[in-house]
């Protein structure tokens, strides 16, 4: 008992101490209740108990060392005294929970018989499958009902190579993942332009096609009889024969999967997946290549299914098409949705529940599916986001603190890096804030730009030139074609005829993500923020096109990737300070009031380092105070050397900040000139301003 008492943690609050000590005692008591057939490997029970105590003591020592360097976790536990269980769990340091979960995963099988170890091994296999599908469905938002086909690819790859070419398990394990990834990319190509129900139908058809091929290609796959006599894995003469060997092997695969998926989720690619899931139009407009991002989701998600398939074939030593039916795809999808899409702990919990509960309900086998269906319906009603909802970290743990001071306090202001430009009070742009223009440089030019939608002409032979450093406004009545003009410039629409030239290069036919990469950024008439991201992450994803981290770099994080991410966090924090949102960086974008959401969208657009910024009705819905602040913000943006093209109906703002104004009416340019010329133009007065506005 003295050894036991020294190994237990000593926390500062009774409630936290009791709960955590109980968890530890629960783990320690398991070896005293183990099955007589448990795999002791010749050790006596006291030795196992001592080993468990020592392992937990070592884990506690690591936690205490972390606590000395950063005792935040202890403070959180202290604050949790007297709160609800949910509040306690939220305050316990993640590292402590992870260590306890890992210790439990290592120790628990030592006290179980073969049957329970097999069940836990199945949980590991399906957890790997669900984590892979979570990339496709939970992160990228692409519904895949044929996911189990990639599982079959990995299994049959090992089955065929092991029985016909005597290739070892360790050689086929990565090969199975690569082959599954290739099939995932092949599926991704025809599904690029599909979403929702249509994508589900295509992926369902792909999964059934693979199963039918396996079932009918007798000469290769063995047909319905499958492949038997598959070699078990061995390593340096040691053969994996006992169920516990496979359990620890799949545990290693699960840990590798968790590590990789978590790294990807907190990387440039993970932010791109989340942005694409929330809003494809906005994602492409900020520089995300939707084709590449979708293919990476399909390919990487399939990789883990292939690895799980290789493991499954080696464990069972027999495979057949009946192991890879549509029902299996549905089960894996339910694990993701039940646990929580995008949540790694939630997905693992979903896999454990859907595999362990049926084993506990075998006496109710006739009603099992009924209970399962009712439970899923109830979950969708009560917790539509799953048992454990995804919680994206604003700044990943590996670079925590690199931007904390910047977000809270903001950088020091300089004369050339203004947060809000001063107003002259007259409503006119202050000439002292105008940056020096590149001599006679036309930054943006459209020539005879026309757009037809069926029989309707939205733009008719529109010519416009914007000089570097200017603030130019585009005004006109609703339906005049202003937003259509923006969509043509940014590549969202292909014009029927004419040219869009940026720095002399024709942008017609250039994809929106490439337009953003060339230095053209925009906001939208209807705010298009990524609601499942924090304020800081929204700005960080805006810099996607300026980053270069690959998939391998995202997982292994060499120094160059770490530096790139740190610089991005600091830049995003500075932009939040610039627009006045530095104290709201940890909020979800959906929690911001309307005016702050407008400013956040501007900050996100600026994160791509644009030379030309297109603002589509930024003052819409703002009160007078917010509008005045917006005017000063536009001055400050222009002071950074960014040219601004503005669509706006707020005439005080337009007349106060614009150097030139172009007026559209039914897709035709009816006037162009200075604010004074536009205010006095009879055509503009009749079509848009009206007499009262003209003389205001």
In this structure, of 107-121, 166-180, 220-234, 544-558, the range with the lowest mean pLDDT score is 107-121
Report the pLDDT averaged over residues 314-339: 91
With 70 as the cut, is the pLDDT of residue 398 above it?
A: no
Enumerate domains of the chain plus CATH numbers.
2-103 (no CATH), 113-329 (no CATH), 440-694 (3.40.50.300)
What is residue 422's predicted lDDT score, i.e. its pLDDT?
A: 36
- Higher-confidence residue: 533 or 95? 533
pLDDT category at 38 given cuts 50, 70, 90 is: low
Q: How confident is the model at residue 692 (pLDDT cuts 50, 70, 90)?
A: low
According to the model, what pLDDT value does residue 387 have?
Answer: 81
Q: Report residue 411: phi and psi, to 5°.
A: -75, 165
Secondary structure of 585-601 as H, E, C letters? CCCEHHHCCHHHHHHHH
Burial 634-650 (b: 16+ CB within 10 A, else e): bbbbbbeebbbbbbbeb
- pLDDT (0 to 100) of residue 668: 92
For the chain, what is the total number of helices (H) and then of strands (E)?
30, 14
Computed from CA positions of residues 320, 121, 344, 562, in that sequence, does the dihedral angle turn out positive or negative?
negative
pLDDT: which is higher, 431 or 203: 203
Mean pLDDT of 76-102: 54
| Range scoring the smallest mean pLDDT among 26-35, 139-148, 395-404, 591-600 | 395-404
Q: Are 652 and 627 in contact (CB under 8 A)?
A: yes
Identify the weakest region by mean pLDDT among 58-62, 100-104, 418-422, 523-527. Answer: 418-422
Instruction: Judge contact between 150 and 180, C-beta under 8 A.
Output: yes
The Cα-based distances of 651 to 246, 477, 672 in angstroms read 71, 12, 15
**Among the ranges given (91-105, 262-276, 388-402, 592-606), the one the predictor scored with the smallest mean pLDDT:** 388-402
Mean pLDDT value of segment 239-252: 90
Distances 59 to 8, 222, 559 between C-alpha atoms, Å: 11, 49, 28
With a pLDDT cut of 70, the percent of the chain lying above it is 77
Question: Per-residue pLDDT for 492 more than 70?
Answer: yes
Nearest CA among 138, 300, 143 for reference residue 207: 143
| Of 330-334, 354-358, 587-591, 641-645, the least confident | 354-358
Over the chain, what is the mean pLDDT?
A: 81
Q: Do residues 232 and 314 make contact, with C-beta atoms less than 8 angstroms apart? A: yes
The DSSP result for 237-282, as a single string, is: TEE--SHHHHHHHHHHHHHHHHHHHHHHHTSHHHHHHHHHHH-HHH
Mean pLDDT, residues 134-155: 93
Task: Using alpha carbons, list the distances in angstroms from residue 120 to 55, 250, 355, 487.
Answer: 21, 10, 9, 53
pLDDT band at 536 (very low <50, low <70, confident <90, very high): very high
Under 8 Å between Cβ of 271 and 541: yes
CA distance 130 to 334: 9
Q: What is the pLDDT of residue 383?
A: 79
Token code pair at residue 576: 């939040």
> pLDDT tens-digit profile of 622-634?
888 889 999 999 9
Q: What was the pLDDT predicted at 372?
A: 73
Do residues 315 and 363 lie in contact, with contact meaning Cβ atoms separated by under 8 Å? Answer: no
Grouping H, G, I as helix, E, B as strand and the rest as coil, residue 284 is helix
pLDDT of residue 65: 45
H/E element, 453: strand 442-453
Bigger pLDDT: 672 vs 362:
672
Length of the chain: 696
What does the DSSP assignment read for 476-504? -STTSSHHHHHHHHTTSS--SEEEEEETT
* pLDDT over 80 (residue 484): yes
């Amino acid at each position: 008992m003295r050894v036991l008492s020294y190994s237990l943690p000593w926390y500062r609050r009774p409630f936290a101490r009791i709960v955590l000590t109980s968890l530890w005692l629960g783990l320690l008591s398991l070896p005293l209740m183990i099955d007589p057939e448990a795999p002791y490997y010749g050790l006596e029970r006291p030795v196992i108990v001592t080993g468990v105590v020592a392992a937990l003591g070592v884990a506690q020592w690591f936690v205490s060392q972390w606590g000395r360097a950063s005792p935040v976790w202890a403070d959180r536990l202290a604050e949790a005294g007297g709160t609800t269980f949910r509040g306690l769990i939220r305050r316990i340091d993640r590292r402590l929970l992870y260590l306890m979960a890992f210790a439990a995963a290592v120790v628990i099988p030592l006290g179980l018989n073969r049957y329970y170890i097999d069940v836990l091994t199945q949980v590991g296999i399906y957890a790997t499958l669900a984590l892979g599908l979570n990339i496709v469905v939970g992160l990228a938002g692409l519904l895949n009902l044929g996911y189990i086909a990639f599982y079959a690819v990995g299994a049959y790859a090992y089955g065929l190579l092991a029985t016909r070419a005597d290739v070892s398990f360790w050689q086929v394990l990565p090969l199975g993942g690569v082959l599954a990834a290739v099939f995932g990319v092949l599926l991704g190509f025809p599904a690029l332009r599909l979403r929702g129900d249509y994508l589900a139908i295509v992926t369902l058809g792909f999964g059934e096609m693979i199963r039918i091929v396996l079932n009918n290609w007798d000469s290769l796959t063995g047909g319905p009889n499958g492949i038997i006599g598959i070699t078990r894995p061995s390593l340096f003469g040691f053969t994996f024969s006992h169920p516990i060997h496979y359990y620890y092997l799949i545990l290693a695969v699960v840990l590798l999967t968790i590590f990789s998926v978590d790294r990807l989720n907190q990387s440039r690619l993970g932010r791109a997946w989340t942005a694409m899931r929330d809003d494809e139009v906005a994602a492409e407009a900020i520089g995300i290549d939707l084709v590449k991002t979708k293919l990476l989701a399909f390919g990487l998600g399939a990789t883990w299914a292939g690895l799980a398939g290789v493991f499954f074939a080696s464990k069972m030593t027999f495979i057949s098409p009946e192991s890879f039916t549509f029902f299996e795809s549905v089960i894996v999808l339910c694990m993701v949705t039940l646990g929580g899409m995008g949540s790694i702990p939630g997905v693992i919990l979903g896999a454990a529940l859907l595999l362990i509960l049926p084993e506990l309900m075998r006496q109710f086998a006739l009603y099992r599916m009924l209970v399962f269906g009712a439970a899923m319906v109830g979950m969708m009603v009560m917790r539509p986001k799953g048992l454990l909802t995804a919680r994206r970290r604003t700044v990943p743990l590996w670079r925590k603190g690199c931007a904390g001071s910047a977000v809270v306090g903001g950088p020091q202001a300089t004369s050339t890096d203004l947060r809000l430009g001063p107003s002259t009070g007259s409503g006119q742009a202050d000439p002292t804030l105008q940056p020096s223009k590149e001599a006679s440089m036309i930054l943006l030019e459209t020539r005879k730009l026309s757009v037809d939608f069926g029989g309707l002409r939205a733009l008719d032979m529109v010519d416009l030139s914007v000089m570097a450093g200017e603030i130019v406004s585009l005004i006109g009545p609703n339906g005049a074609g202003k937003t259509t003009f923006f969509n043509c410039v940014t590549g969202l629409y292909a014009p029927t005829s004419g040219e869009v030239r940026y720095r002399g290069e024709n942008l017609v036919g250039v994809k929106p993500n490439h337009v953003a990469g060339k230095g053209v950024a925009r906001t939208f008439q209807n705010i298009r923020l990524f609601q499942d991201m924090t304020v800081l992450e929204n700005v960080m994803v805006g810099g996607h096109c300026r980053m270069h981290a690959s998939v391998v770099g995202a997982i292994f994080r060499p120094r160059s990737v770490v530096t790139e991410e740190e610089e991005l966090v600091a830049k995003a924090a500075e932009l939040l300070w610039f627009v006045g949102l530095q104290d709201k960086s940890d909020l979800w974008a959906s929690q911001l009031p309307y005016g702050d959401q407008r400013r956040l969208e501007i900050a996100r657009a600026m994160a791509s380092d644009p030379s030309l910024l297109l603002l589509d009705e930024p003052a819409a819905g703002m009160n007078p105070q917010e509008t005045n602040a917006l005017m000063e913000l536009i001055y400050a943006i222009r002071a950074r050397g960014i040219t601004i093209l503005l669509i706006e109906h707020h005439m005080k703002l337009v007349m106060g900040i614009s150097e030139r104004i172009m007026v559209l009416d039914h897709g035709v340019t009816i006037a162009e000139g200075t604010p004074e010329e536009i205010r006095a133009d009879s055509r503009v007065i009749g079509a848009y301003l009206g007499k009262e506005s003209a003389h205001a």
